[in-house]
Structure 1
Amino acid sequence: MLDIEDRRSESPYIARVWRSHSSGVERMTSVATTNWEFVVWTHRGLVHAGVRGPETAASVAEVPDDSESFGISFAHGTSMPHLPVSRLVDTQVDSPHATASGFVLRGEEWPMPSFENAEQFVARLAREGVLVRDPLVAGAVEGEIPRVGARSVQRRVAAATGLTQGAIRQIERARQAAILLGEGVTPLDVVHRLGYYDQPHLARSLARFVGRTATQLRRADGAEPLSLLYKTDT
């Protein structure tokens, strides 16, 4: 079983805060995601921390039995100047040292955050210049019309997210399709609601980004549990 709890955040830097506990699960399907994350996981008394980048395709991830995890998923437009998101896409950078009380980031010691105090932790990172935020990127991803040229928007979105606007739209649409199918919406209705060309187009998108078929999602079955899926306002 993979038990996941998540919550939204009022911080403009944060998209979501989550935590999970695994029991009797060896693997999970990690669904493609457009957000990068700070993650902490504990297994057999050892604490690890790291930064995980956006994932451009579904993959199978190992899940240590009886492990605890916690993560801060950052909003589009939030980035770290010392570690560009473009270098994190489809990969993870672990902290060189982590304990229950702290970890190393940017060569400095930081107190270990928690599910409850994630906002305070992120606010401190922003004050110290570890995190920066480009509001234009957040608006562009949500569909707003920026007051700058299209090329400038493309450059800023790529710099802050590591992805193109087109890739972000494709991944987010597939995630929303998976949620709708899990709620019992028919594949044909999902095609119409989300603007897919046809059902084969939906099927290819699900296979690439979610790692499930429409039938598996509607029946909530599959070889492994899925990573966090949640509704957005987009």
Structure 2
Amino acid sequence: MGLEIESRPSELPYLERVWRSCSEDVSAMMSVATSHWELVFWERQGEVQAAVLGPEVRTTRAPVPGDAVFFGISFALGTSMPHIPVCRLVGGNAAIPDVTRRSLWLKGSAWHVPDFDNAESFVLWMVREGIVDLDPVVPAVLDGAASDISARTVQRRFVAATGQTQGVIRQIHRARQAAVLIQEGMPAQEVVHQVGYFDQPHLARSLKRYVGRTATQLRAPDAAEPLSLLYKT
């Protein structure tokens, strides 16, 4: 069966996506680079755990506990938890202690564990309690809006809110977009022009670094080592 993943976008400005998955007969996956940090819960053999996963600026192979159920909230770029700076989480994670099926502790308070359907309500609680914040400069600049602050200040705020530079975010986004197009059957040469690579070798290097697969491998997925969540943006 492998790793089955279901996801949906969110209209809440603090969220990028909500997802859930289950694992069967798979022990590892290729974790694709992502600019977003996530709050992830998983349950296996009656034990519930949770962690904040930081952005990943390159691919990594990650173990997958067998017969486990996962649920994740992927936060929008510019969103952060001030008490756990995103820059400290890049390529890493922070475990959340004392999690049960019903409750978890965040910043000294007990919370009901969210699920796939009520993630937005849970995040709005976090916002109201000051656990999650959003720097409006980041989404505004990503949407192409002109900024009235200096480029240096914009870059500094990007790094503080996302743990990455604008350049790295664009490269990751482009590689993920290219991977989805290739999986959908678009020829590599067309992908080069569609997403703005110089040539096919440039595309190949980017895919290898940020997705961990060649174009040929993306067209023939490896069920024994699936990819983490890829989706159209």
TM-score w.r.t. structure 2 length?
A: 0.97
Structure 1 counterpart of 2:31, which letter?
A: S
Match of 1:108 in 2: 109
1:231 paired with 2:232, answer yes
- 1:183 and 2:200 correspond: no
User: What is the SS of the residue equivalent to 2:177?
Assistant: helix
Which residues in structure 2 correspond to 1:207-218 (within 5 Å)? 207-218=208-219
- Give unmatched runs, 5+ long, in structure 1: none
Q: Structure 1 residue 74 and structure 2 residue 75: aligned?
A: yes
Q: Is the 8 A contact 1:178 1:210 kept in 2?
A: yes
The match for 2:199 is 198
Q: What is residue 169 of structure 1 aligned with on the other side?
A: 170
CA distance in 1, matches of 2:128, 2:225: 40
Which deviates more from structure 2 when the two are superposed, residues 29-38 or residues 135-144? 135-144
Aligned to 2:220: 219
Conserved? CA contact 2:19–2:73, under 8 Å: yes
Cα shift at 1:136: 1.4
Matched with 1:150 is 151
Conserved? CA contact 2:30–2:212, under 8 Å: yes
Structure 2 residue identity aligned to 1:207: K
Q: CA RMSD in A?
A: 1.1
TM-score (norm 1): 0.96
Which residue of the partner structure matches residue 119 of structure 2?
Answer: 118
- Cα deviation digits, residues 21-70 of structure 1 (max 9, x gap): 11111111100000000000011110001100000111111111110000
Shift of 1:141: 2.4
Say if 1:212 and 1:222, in contact at 8 Å, map to a contact too. Answer: no
| In 1: Cα distance, 2:181 partner to 2:144 partner | 21
In 2, Cα distance between equivalents of 1:26 and 1:50: 19
Paired residues in the alignment total 232
Q: Which runs of 4+ in 1 moved over 4 A?
A: none
- Structure 1 pair 99–177 and aligned structure 2 pair: CA distance change class (3 A): same
The Cα offsets for residues 118-168 of structure 1, whole Å up to 9 and x where unpaired, read as: 000000000000011112101212333222211111011111100000000
CA contact (8 A) 1:216 1:222 kept: no
Cα deviations across residues 141-196 of structure 1 (Å, max 9, x unaligned)? 23332222111110111111000000000000000010000011111111111111
Partner in structure 2 of residue 34 of structure 1: 35
Verify: 1:52 aligned to 2:66, yes or no.
no
Deviation per CA, 1:62-120: give whole Å up to 9, x if none.
11111000000000111111111001100010012110011122232211111111000
Identity score, percent:
57
Give distance in 1, aligned partners of 2:223 and 2:170.
25
Partner Cα distance (2:103, 2:112) in 1: 4
Residues 198 and 222 of structure 1, relative CA distance in 2, 3 Å threshold: farther
